[in-house]
Homo-oligomer: A and B are copies of this chain.
Amino acid sequence: MAIRQRAMQAQDKQQRHDAILDAAARLLADSPERIASVAEVADEAGLAKGTVYLYFPGKEELLLAVHERNVDGFFDALIEVLERKDQVTIADVLALTGRHIVEPPLFLPLAARCFGMMGQGVPVEAALAFKQRMGERLQKAGTGIERHFHGLNAGDGVALLRHSYALIIGLWQMSPAAQAQHPAGPMAGPGPRPAFDYDYQVELDRALVALWDGTIGGRSRSYAAP
Contact = CB atoms under 8 A, between A and B. Distances in A.
Interface string A129-151: 00110111011001000000000
Given A139-B195, A178-B119, A209 B214 contact: yes
B135 A193 contact: yes
Interface in A187-201: 189, 193-196, 198
Contacts of A210: 160, 163, 211, 214-215, 218
A127 B188 CA distance: 13
Number of copies of chain A assembled together: 4
Interface residues of A, number: 59
Contacts of A119: 32-33, 109, 112-113, 173, 178-180
Given A135-B193, A207-B163, A35 B120 contact: yes
Interface centre among A124, A136, A209 (most CB of B within 10 A): A124
A194 B173 CA distance: 26
Contacts of A159: 198, 203, 206-207
A128 B166 contact: no
Contacts of A174: 115, 162, 165-166, 169
A40 B103 CA distance: 41
A159 B189 CA distance: 22
Contacts of A44: none
Interface string A150-176: 000000001110110111111101100
